[in-house]
A and B are shown apart, each in its own frame.
Chain A
């Protein structure tokens, strides 16, 4: 069975500092990997995803994540955060190849950006 571990439940940082939100997964098959963001009192938005190809994927607002198969990780990074990045971030995994697998979520990391 697949599982996702987000190693930090809360990450406080100052504005313009770099940030890394860690995500590790376990799976015996190939995977698709996702990061979702949830702003306060809102629904889930897809931030970025890895399906295949280049292991480095990027979002339109400056986040990036790298799929590392050997370390079973998909950490999310941003070189300089803004106040508006304050949100909860969820890492998720599903089985690749169009299989019957479902999307499994980590418990989330709350990013708090302080001025």
Chain B
């Protein structure tokens, strides 16, 4: 099994729908992150969590929310999806900033 698992791998949803992207890890890391990737913009940080009780906004948090259900689980929600949230989403974990492990990504299309 992968160290960082994202589900679903691909998703097409309609404008206005609520959608949740899930991430689980077996690395035992406290730190978890959600990024989105857009062509030409690299990866931008949406939310991050340094432990179960610590949630922080990243660079582009508007329109997103997160939940850290356990040390190993960190989910990202789009409360009301819009087309400009179409992107590739990555979950990652970190060993105190010395190494980052990324999931395989979730390709989300909002139509």
Residues on A lying within 8 angstroms of B by beta carbon are 6, 9, 32, 34, 36, 42-44, 46, 49, 51, 90, 92, 94-96, 98-108
- On whether the beta carbons of B102 and A44 are closer than 8 Å, the reply is yes
List the one stretch of B19-27, B39-47, B69-77, B78-86 in contact with chain A.
B39-47
B65 at the binding interface (Cβ < 8 Å): no
Does more than half of chain A's interface fall in helix, strand or loop, or is it mixed?
loop
A95, B45: Cβ atoms closer than 8 Å = no
* Chain B facing A: main interface SS: strand
Cross-chain contact B42 with A94 (CB below 8 angstroms): no
Residue on B nearest A109 in the bound complex, by CB: B42
Contact for A107 among B40, B58, B97, CB less than 8 A: B40
Cβ of B94 within 8 Å of any chain A Cβ, yes or no, is: yes
Number of interface residues of B (CB under 8 A): 23
* Contact sample, A vs B, 19 pairs, CB 8 Å cutoff: A32-B97, A34-B100, A36-B102, A43-B102, A44-B43, A44-B102, A49-B99, A51-B98, A90-B42, A92-B43, A96-B97, A100-B50, A102-B45, A102-B48, A102-B58, A103-B45, A103-B94, A107-B42, A108-B42
**Residue numbers in B under 8 Å from A43 (CB-CB):** 90, 102-105
B105 near A90 (CB under 8 angstroms)? Answer: no
Q: Confirm or deny: B96 has a beta carbon within 8 angstroms of a beta carbon on chain A.
A: yes
Q: How far is the CB of A30 from chain B (nearest CB, A)?
A: 11
- Give the CA-CA distance A32 to B96 in the complex, in Å: 11
Tell me if A98 and B98 are in contact (CB < 8 A). yes
| Interface residue ranges of B37-61 to A (CB < 8 Å) | 40-45, 48, 50, 58
Contact A102 B33 (CB under 8 A): yes
Q: Does B92 contact A (CB under 8 A)?
A: yes
Of chain A, the residue at the smallest CB distance from B54 is A100
Known: A46-B100, A107-B40. 8 other contacts (CB 8 A): A49-B99, A90-B43, A96-B97, A103-B45, A103-B97, A103-B100, A105-B35, A107-B41
